[in-house]
Structure 1
């Protein structure tokens, strides 16, 4: 049978695949057989895409591991949790190993927690769904719980996927904090829905859904989320150490025109207690100062523009790193962030600096 009709019949006819010579000159659109139609449909999939991936929560990640300087321990932990079970499925099945259902990334603000998850999504080839508290909560009763269920349903429909909850402490709050202990509050209902959805995810490599979350306040995360089978893997993403700062500075300094006397090692020493985001902002500020200097000099063509050490020095003097205060720095240490002794050892299973 023919899979198409004459266009003059005003009936539906499937689109022709790219690169295939059409039969419209002959007055008909169609394929010879079912195999020809199947080939055309497969050729159209990349250009059409799945409808599940058209949600505003689904983000195409362009971040690579190489775009994140340092944090080798955290990168390896994430690869073990997500990439290894899929790349080594036969070995996992033979050893009856189950991949973690979820992972919690915690640490000071600006330490590349979200970037690490985006790089993981790109590296593993998984769809990346990002949900925040603003996407969940609504003034209408029941909308928050429905948003949680929708997020998990969407993640399952476009697996393999990574479902990422940014600032998880604001999405599902600790039942023991303040006046949120009542079971009738919206926070309690959202938490109950979240726990139910987490348990509903199959703990096999073929499921294709990994739930990940980031927070600056792990002590505010309900303890029910941290048990095995939910966010069983906790990874501390601390401020960058010397090696990480060197890698971050190298990425940014080498991407801009700099003079020969700009020393990355000198900048490494000057940026102690800077987070990764603050180092990136420092390089942008140095480039902006260079831009202003060239405008004042009358060099509007910017042919010989170079960022010099004086621009970095001025940018550093104007910077106020978050962790520069010893009290603030101690409050963001791995043990202090948990706040409760019962969670301290949980978070120390995987650390990264």
Structure 2
């Protein structure tokens, strides 16, 4: 039995996410001596699609060419939109006829825009989480590496896409082949559902060591709801320590007090929303806990050297001139 997988490519899609699925499937076919997996590259219109690295891929078919697929995985940058008004309806039709429609990395954005998501929880890369929450507040999202349900599969990035491929291999050919494929590529293990994404917690400047568990937990508590950010006192209370203890721990670990560190997180989230949505600056400010745009714009400029309006203009100019979204993971 052959599992047929289609990859719907949007301009600016992350190339690593595509190869991280295809290569282990190709290896599984070689190891097993079978054609257990087949794949096709699919585009909406133009047959030639450029990845985020500027490398062109020739698609095998256009969406709607009568695909007989077990899986259709969307690969895109967050800002990708359907260019064909029929595309969303075609995805919903495939979904109704039994194709598992899923997404990798920024592909969750057009996946939701297509209307196929019906209450499932989606894996959203931490780099896009704030922008995703701003555009789709009603959609359940998680910080797990992959999310799998009866009719949906989503992966947060390229390494997670490799895990999805191993999962397909394990189902079709058994754990022995899946393990051998992982060893071929020196992939340490197959991460299954329930594994959280690794976040780029800032390290101690002096030693380069990872942040202490206490400081890492404090950061996660603060990041739970940036629209209504917790105070230092709130975080300290949840950790059952004094605010003074928390201040000392942050200073020792990061060289900053927690207020400055938390402001950095809010600015990083704000920049996601500026880059990947068309929300007004007032809405961006509110999404990261600012009731007034003036201090928000001032702190954004302090963080990035330009205002949110200037940053968005710069990003849109790059997209127009380079025909590529930024960044893509």
TM-score (normalizing by structure 1): 0.26
Larger fraction in helix: 1
Structure with bigger RCO (C-alpha 8 Å, 6+ apart): 1
Larger fraction in strand: 2
Structure index of larger Rg: 1
TM-score (normalizing by structure 2): 0.28
